[in-house]
Chain A
Amino acid sequence: GQNIDQPTEMTATEGAIVQINCTYQTSGFNGLFWYQQHAGEAPTFLSYNVLDGLEEKGRFSSFLSRSKGYSYLLLKELQMKDSASYLCAVRDSNYQLIWGAGTKLIIKP
C-alpha cells in the first residue's frame, strides 16, 4: 500500500528553527509537495520537490532524498503566525496526490 508518515504534532519556540520530516512509500514518484493549513482554512501551497536536494524559499526550505523516500520542511526564524498544520503529499505513478495526515506545529513565545 501507499503510505506517508509525518509526526502528529511538534512544538517550537518563536525565533527558533524547526524541521518537519516526511517519509513515504508510494507506487512511483512524480514529485513531493508541502502545504500549510491554518485552522479552519484551506491548505495553501508551500513547496514542490521533484529532484534531490534543497529548495529554499525565504524562511522556508524543503529537502528531498528520493533514494531514502524522505523529505523535510525547514522553517527558520519562527513566527507565531507559523502555527498551523503542515501537510506532505506525494504524486504517485498515476499522477495522483497521496496525502500525509499532517503535522500540527505549535509555536510558543
Chain B
Amino acid sequence: SAVISQKPSRDICQRGTSLTIQCQVDSQVTMMFWYRQQPGQSLTLIATANQGSEATYESGFVIDKFPISRPNLTFSTLTVSNMSPEDSSIYLCSVEGTEISYNEQFFGPGTRLTVL
C-alpha cells in the first residue's frame, strides 16, 4: 500500500486561529480525500482534493472554513480556519488509485486537533 504521512500528528490550538494539515504520499495517487472523525464516531468525508482545481466539498462543509490545496499527485493540505472547540476532532487524509490497487482507500495516521 502507499505510505502516507500527515503533519502535524497532533496540535492544541486557540479559538479563532487556523491550522494547516499536510498530507504527503510516497507515490502518485489518483484521488485524495479529507475526513473528520469525532471520538467514537465513524468517518465523515469533508471533501475530495482535486489536483490543480478546487476541491469538491460534501454537504455541510465549505471552502471558507476548510480550504484545501492539491498542487500535485502526491501532496495535499487541509486548513481548518477560524477554529472553535467544535472543530476538535481527528482529521484523516486518505488516497485511492495507487500503483498497487485501484479500489481501496488507504489512510494516513491522522491529525488529532484540540481547540481550546
Contacts and interface: CB of A to CB of B under 8 A. Distances in A.
Interface of A: 31, 33, 41-45, 48, 87, 96-97, 99-102
B104 A33 contact: yes
Contacts of B105: 33, 45, 97
Contacts of B108: 42
Contacts of B12: none
Contacts of A102: 42
B42 A87 contact: yes
16 contacts: A31-B103, A33-B104, A33-B105, A42-B92, A42-B108, A42-B109, A43-B92, A43-B107, A45-B104, A45-B105, A45-B106, A97-B105, A99-B42, A100-B42, A101-B42, A102-B42
Contacts of B109: 41-42
Q: Which size class do B's interface residues fall under?
A: 10 to 19
A43 B43 contact: yes
**From A42, A44, A45, residue with most partner B Cβ within 10 Å:** A42
Given A41-B109, A42-B109, A42-B110, A48 B103 contact: yes
B20 interface: no
Contact of B43 (A31, A45, A99): A99
A93 to B, nearest CB: 15
**From B1, B42, B107, B109, residue with most partner A Cβ within 10 Å:** B42
Contacts of B45: 96-97, 99
Nearest to B35: A99
Interface string B37-77: 00001111100000000000000000000000000000000
Interface string B88-116: 00001000000000011111111000000
